[in-house]
């Protein structure tokens, strides 16, 4: 008796049951029900010349979905269905249509997007399916001689693909007039469809400035078209290259957090496109967004290939520490004398770090341009550290002698190198090639990275223009001359103005620079009320707020200025102490002779002292009978002091501290000379400064 379990009927039932189980399982895998059914019929016809088509009965055709993430490029696509060509040279595809808002698995199912029909020779043609909300898709296509012609027998193609296939033929015929006509037809008959977007993009290529034409990237269909990659990513990302980093990063999140971008491979592909777009950009600052994309969407994603992860990880390693806005990494290298110098030595108005090598051909072009810029610069002081990346000490020193020579007083040079390779500066600063220039602000935060001299010049000039505007604005708030009585500003009003400036900039990223500009203008404008206002600003918003100032050099200089201003200030009592005359006899600084006194503090090497000294001597000759003049040497070279007195015919009393400058400096500010003090008969200081003209005005009244 035959075994019924092995009859063809039982085998067929088993196959059907298995198929139903698999279909049911597939349906359960999705959180949403199918939206419809797709039925695609492909009719193959003979060539126009009567020769047979290459695809013969029994050949398998594949239905592929456009997907950027699939290896092999856009023409590769992702196979979602297959069909065998029958004897009548037809092949039929049939399956379920799903909406795009599936939670997972939409890579391998039929959704809105662009599709290809291919055989083992390659892609034969493509078509669109646009409806976002699902629906049935029934179309018939005829293939003849590599072109798609309107089929007069079969009226089964939708209007979208009628237009699309006509556009493909127009492209083949190079007919722009037809394309333009089809674009208008699509806009009228199938507005918002993929062919509408396609023709708009094809006939009028978009640029980053075409903001009004740029489609919303939330149009999920574009992720699954061959033209959508450029439309969604290249143009969209390029649009934000000149934006602030925070704005670029928001755009990245907008792309990556699209609710339709759930396919892991597609997410990984989009993330890499974002990373590469910004990591390779020549626009400064984009590297920060490349690091952002790498850390947030690539390095922790298991679906990203090891090679792509390694590419992103290396970029992060050599760039993260020197992004625009970040504090420059510590740099401790030795100068030509073997003394270790720190990047903190660069602290000042603006600083430059220049990495170069003696055998670098590009450096031979860049170095003269950089030196030429610095040699002619006169807007504000600049500190520059040149970092030699080679290991030959002789070549290094010769390069310095030959190339880095300038007498510009606005420029301070530091020449350093790591000849023994003891530091990690190539990784810290991402120096994989030279030349490389970094521009730092007054707090050693990076303003420019990986730039060359033309860009550096533009950035410095822009800062100089900003400074000029700031000083112009400050001159209107704090006039540097006496106004009419009704318009004059007293000291309290000026201090209130400083407080208002602080309130306006306290939360700004430019707080330090803006307050520094205000102090610089007020202190150096040469008008006493403004100078007093600068001291108020320096004490309240610099010394009393050390946590807000990374520029320790600036804070220290403010401390010295305030010390100088407060010590021996007009209105305070002058202190007496014992010094020594040129014969080394002890002598009181303040003689109790009942006369007004003038104290002149100086050093023999001080050029300004040499200029003002003759005027002091003339004042002594004119007013010496009524006023007691005393010159106070504030240096250590006693023999030089005696020669200086003889050479300059200083006949009025001269004293020095005899190796005890600490006591002198503790009672009189001698860090900056010359210094002139006028003391009245009661011992009260009535004038402090360097102006011999103002001293003369006071002496005339005696």
Residue in the block written with tokens 């989009």: 270
- Collapsing DSSP to helix, strand or coil, 619 comes out as helix
pLDDT at 487: 46
CB contact set of 628 (below 8 Å; sequence gap of 6+): 591, 593, 595, 596, 597, 598, 653
Q: How many residues does the chain have?
A: 702
- Do the domains spanning 332-459 and 578-700 agree at the CATH topology level? yes
CATH number of 22-157: 2.60.40
Q: Which of 411, 441, 262, 423 is nearest to 349 (CA)?
A: 441
Exposure pattern of 179-210 as b/e (b: 16+ CB <10 Å)? beebbebbeeebeebbbbbbbbbbeeebeeee
pLDDT at 74: 44
- Supply the pTM of this predicted model: 0.62
pLDDT at 170: 84
Its CATH architecture, for the domain 332-459, is: 3-Layer(aba) Sandwich (3.40)
* Residue ranges of the chain whose pLDDT lies below 70: 1-32, 46-55, 71-76, 101-106, 132-134, 144-156, 203-218, 232, 259-260, 348, 482-489
552 and 344 in contact (C-beta within 8 Å)? yes
pLDDT at 69: 72
How far apart CA 178 and CA 184 sit, in angstroms, is: 10
Q: Where are the domains of the chain?
A: 22-157, 205-322, 332-459, 478-566, 578-700
pLDDT at 151: 40
Its CATH architecture, for the domain 578-700, is: 3-Layer(aba) Sandwich (3.40)
Per-residue DSSP letter, 35: -
pLDDT at 149: 42
From residue 430, give the alpha-carbon distance in Å to each of 7, 318, 355, 437, 449.
73, 4, 11, 11, 10
User: 685-689 and 78-84: which strand pairing?
Assistant: unpaired
How far apart CA 645 and CA 649 sit, in angstroms, is: 6
From residue 471, give the alpha-carbon distance in Å to each of 409, 465, 492, 532.
22, 10, 21, 17
């Amino acid at each position: 008796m035959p075994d019924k379990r092995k009859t063809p009927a039982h085998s067929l039932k088993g196959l059907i049951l298995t198929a139903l189980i698999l279909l049911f399982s597939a349906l359960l895998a999705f959180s949403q029900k199918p939206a419809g059914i797709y039925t695609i019929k492909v009719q193959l016809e003979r060539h126009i010349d009567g020769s047979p088509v290459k695809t013969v009965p029994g050949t398998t055709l594949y239905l592929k979905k456009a997907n950027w993430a699939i290896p092999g490029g856009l023409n590769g696509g992702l196979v979602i269905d297959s069909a065998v060509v029958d004897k009548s040279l037809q092949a039929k595809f049939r399956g379920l249509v799903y909406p795009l808002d599936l939670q997972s698995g939409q890579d391998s199912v039929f959704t809105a997007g662009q599709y290809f029909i291919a055989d083992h020779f390659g892609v034969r043609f493509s078509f669109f399916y646009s409806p976002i909300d699902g629906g049935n898709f029934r179309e018939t296509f005829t293939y003849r001689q590599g072109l798609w012609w309107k089929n007069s027998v079969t009226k089964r193609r939708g209007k979208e693909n009628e237009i699309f296939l006509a556009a493909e033929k127009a492209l083949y015929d190079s007919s722009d007039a037809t394309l333009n006509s089809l674009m208008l037809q699509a806009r009228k008959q199938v507005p918002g469809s993929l062919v509408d977007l396609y023709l708009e993009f094809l006939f009028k290529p978009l640029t980053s400035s075409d903001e009004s034409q740029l489609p919303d990237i939330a149009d999920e269909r574009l992720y699954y078209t061959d033209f959508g990659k450029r439309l969604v990513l290249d143009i969209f990302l390029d649009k934000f290259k000149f934006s602030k980093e925070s704005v670029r990063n928001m755009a990245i999140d907008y792309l990556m957090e699209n609710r339709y971008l759930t396919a892991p491979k597609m997410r990984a592909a989009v993330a890499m496109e974002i990373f590469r777009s910004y990591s390779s950009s020549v626009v400064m600052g984009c590297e920060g967004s490349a690091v952002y994309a790498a850390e947030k969407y690539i390095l922790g994603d298991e679906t990203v290939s090891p090679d792509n992860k390694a590419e992103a990880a290396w970029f992060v390693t050599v760039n993260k520490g020197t992004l625009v806005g970040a504090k420059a990494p510590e740099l401790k290298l030795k100068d030509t004398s073997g003394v270790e110098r720190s990047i903190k030595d660069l602290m000042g108005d603006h600083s430059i770090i220049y990495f170069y090598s003696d055998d670098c051909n590009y450096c031979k072009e860049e170095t003269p341009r950089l030196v030429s810029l610095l040699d002619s610069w006169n807007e504000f002081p600049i500190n520059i550290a040149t970092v030699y990346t080679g290991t030959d000490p002789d070549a290094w020193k010769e390069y310095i002698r030959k190339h880095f020579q300038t007498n510009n007083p606005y420029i301070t040079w530091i020449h350093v190198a790591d000849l023994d390779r003891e530091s990690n500066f190539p990784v810290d600063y991402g120096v994989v090639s030279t030349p490389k220039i970094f521009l730092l602000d007054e707090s050693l935060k990076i303003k420019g990275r990986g730039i060359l001299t033309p860009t550096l010049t533009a950035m410095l000039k822009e800062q100089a223009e900003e400074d000029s505007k700031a000083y112009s604005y400050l001159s209107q708030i704090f006039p540097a001359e006496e106004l009419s009585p009704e318009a004059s500003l007293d000291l309290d009003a000026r201090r209130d103005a400083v407080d208002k400036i602080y309130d306006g900039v306290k939360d700004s990223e430019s707080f330090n620079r803006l307050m520094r500009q205000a102090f610089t203008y007020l202190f150096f404008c040469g008008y006493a009320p403004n100078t007093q206002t600068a001291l108020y600003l320096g004490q309240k918003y610099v010394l009393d707020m050390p946590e807000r100032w990374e520029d320790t050099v600036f804070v220290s200089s403010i401390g010295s200025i305030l010390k100088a201003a407060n010590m021996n200030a007009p209105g305070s009592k002058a202190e007496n102490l014992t010094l020594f005359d040129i014969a080394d006899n002890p002598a009181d600084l303040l003689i109790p002779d009942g006369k007004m006194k003038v104290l002149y503090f100086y050093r023999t090497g001080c050029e300004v002292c040499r200029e003002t000294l003759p005027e002091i001597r003339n004042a002594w000759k004119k007013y010496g009978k009524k006023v007691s003049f005393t010159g106070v040497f504030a240096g250590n070279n006693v023999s030089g002091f005696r020669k200086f007195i003889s050479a300059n015919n200083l006949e009025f009393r001269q004293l020095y501290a005899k190796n005890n400058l600490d006591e002198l400096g503790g009672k009189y500010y001698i860090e900056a000379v010359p210094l002139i003090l006028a003391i009245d008969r009661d011992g009260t200081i009535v004038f402090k400064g360097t102006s011999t003209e103002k001293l003369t005005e006071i002496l005339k009244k005696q």
